[in-house]
Structure 1
Amino acid sequence: MENTICSAPTEKESFEIMSSNTQEKEAIIHILIVDDRENMRNLLSQTFLEMGFKVSVASTGEEAIDKITRHLFHIVITDLSMPGKSGMDVLRYVKSVSPETEVIIITAYGTIEIAVEAMRLGAHDFITKPFQLAVLQNKISKLAKQIQIKNTNRAQTWIHPSVQHLVGESAQTRQLRQIIARVAPTKSSVLITGPSGVGKELVARALHEASPRRDEPFIALNCASLAPTLLESELFGHEKGAFTGATSRREGRFERAHKGTLFLDEVGEIDPSVQVKLLRVLQDGEFERVGGTETIKVDVRIVAATNRDLRQAIVQGTFREDFYYRLNVFSIYVPPLKERPDDIPALVEHFLNKFSMELRKEVYEVDDEVLDLFLRYPWPGNIRELENIMERAIVLATGPQVTINEMPFELQNYIEKNLQVESENKDLQQGKEDLSLEQHTERLERELILKALEKFHWNKTRAAELLGIKRTTLQYRIKRLGLE
């Protein structure tokens, strides 16, 4: 716990407030203040609100990490010494999930060593108490201008910081970020495709967080988990008495998502009877609850996802063509992890930081042998599989490093088998390259004789005729080459 420089009015618990004289939403700089002293939180939040920034607060490192997981922040100002997770823990987490976010650390107990370590981890600045408030205001003002210059279009660069799927610097991931940046500001429907486990919901959240709807609800629904009648009620709500068990009126997901985003996962599993009603909402923005007659109008952006080939489903008659084209105004394909191995090191580091903090384990690195194994593995379960393996590894880790001993047997066994095949192929190739002219000639002779013999079912007379040699010569060569 650290000393503060002055006091301020009492804050409301867990408030997230915005100054009335701020700029348009797309241009607002969002600041998170992390300090266990209430008067410091109040002072800084009031100061930055008056400067026109959006401000959120957290009283602990744990609360800060939770907010960073769920919201976008351009700047994080954190106290260094707090009960539980420290400012350095917050810094590490921020840089693991949102490298673009700038972090300023404030402390009354600063040392050169701590300052150097903070800068090494990516802190923008390190400020010691007591400090002049005007100095901090000036630093934040300059930093905000730098951020706005660098990000002339906020949606083009600022993506929801909890989107693990977007961690990485492969060409595919960079392109994915660019597509999200272009599509997010629009109101149009989006269809996200790709195999299971690649993080399609995370892409949907990124679209929401980078859009003008970011402060409105994001509602997700897995359409594959419900029968058609239950899905209809879940989407549109129902009136009291609409069916057995409907003891009261209930709002559906569309009403809950009003002015926000509704994410329909596994949209390819929706029954055609429900697709018709969804089509109406997409076209007209209105519907009736199950068992009701009142027309309800909503303003909802729909983002859908599937791992199915919907065009094939249209041919098979299980997916409506008109519904498909209404959904597929924009299409975003998320490639499997095996097609972007350049993302694996960054994802590994991200999950290492995430689970080390969550599990309170002091695990700081991954052995090179493990990383090499990850780069060879095809990841049929994609990022979800990598995440699960990293969590398991950190649970099992007995030291500061994740080693091959923490890897699942199936993974090690797969790699061992493939390494053996690679070794055999390499030896064979090397053997071919090392053959002398005589050996090359003998191998070619063997292949020609075998083909001739097989062609005539080992009739040596006819095989010799085909090869243009005497039968006795063929017999001799068969014996010499060990083909008998």
Structure 2
Amino acid sequence: MPSQAISLLASEKTGKDWMDSVLPKLWEGLCTELGFSAGVVVLKVEKEDSFYESASFGYGEDGFYYSFLNRGSLHWEELMHSQEPVFFSGSEFELFGKKTNAMAIRIRSKQTEIGFLLTEMDESLPFPAGIFLTFFAEKIGNEWGKTQKDMVSIEKPTSDNSHTLYRSEIPNLDLATSEFTKQKILTILGPSGSGKKTLAKWIHQTQLPGAPILVVESLPDHFGKLEKALALWGEESRFGSLVLVGVQALNLGQQQILSDWWFKSGYSGSLFLLGPEEMGQELLPEFERFLRKNSLVLPSLRFLPKAKLQTLVQAIFEELCDSQNRSGLQLGAKSLQELISRSYSENFTDLRNAILTGILTCRTNQVEPADLEPGKFKMDLEIPDAEDLDLRRGTEALERQKILLAMRIFSGNQIRMAKALGISRGSLQYKMKQLGLM
């Protein structure tokens, strides 16, 4: 057994302390004394469904990513189900060294696959070294398992669904919902990002479960095209709901066409009209009556009581953690106060973006104020709902999420990020600049 490894293996540290301070040095020492040209230890993030490099040797500052071991790939599955080391020939697989071969050993903890270690060598691996690495993989698995016991579980405050919490602050919601069942129309007004679409979809699902819903973000300027579009949308959302966003942008001609279509077309579905509280443009008298027939005004976040806002922030944080497979993540007290004290011009859009940014960039078990990076990300990070037709925004949001996740996993190393994302480094830099990530 290598001499340096003996002293490190004899360390009194254990669990998370061993994983953080001993493993990286021990791995480097082992690779050096066993004559490996490069090697990496990849482990599952505690209480998450993602993996990270816990220790590496020989790759230099730019690092390296083994694309053939992408999670879920054929070779990944082979490795995760193999009780023996798995070998990869340099003539068949893309390795870091030009003339090397590689050996990988899965790492398990309590009958669960939590990662692997991989080494590259210029010549065939000596038999004793392979046995030693197998035992070393078991050592890593045992210490990783101890981190689950060592973690102090912080009890999260019991909170309701964030949408339910906010709906309780909307004046006259029950009355408007009751009228909607009779009149099949509802105008939802409110500041930008206040959840108008979300509320419309909730009312639709509550009152018309299983019925189709179509969300339209913009209307054609040409009157003839608008008439045809309304007829087509009405047919697609028949017996369901049509949601028209941005009614404040309608000119007088469009207002007339829309109101005529509603009263004369025989449309059998329901209609939601979404816009700001102050329209800011001239309205036809009949169109204004049409808008006010059954309407709601949503409050801005700045008008919510501080205690209510704090509960709302915590609820949104927990929901986003679950959606990102980071259920063990905590929101630090200072971060909570930072989020509560901010002004959100886009209301829920800005708030959720700030929280999601913290979740995706945080590399510890607690989101700190530095992770929130105020003002850096201006684009909506969430993936739009299936009913939304804005393909460009959906594509950009998905790209942004994937790039931010790669940034967290690979600590911003663009070469590793690019290989994991399946694009060139130049393309990655272009997309990062385009999305405001650099």
Larger Rg: 1
Q: Which of 1 and 2 has higher RCO (CA within 8 Å, sep 6+)?
A: 2
What TM-score results when the alignment is normalised by the length of structure 2? 0.45
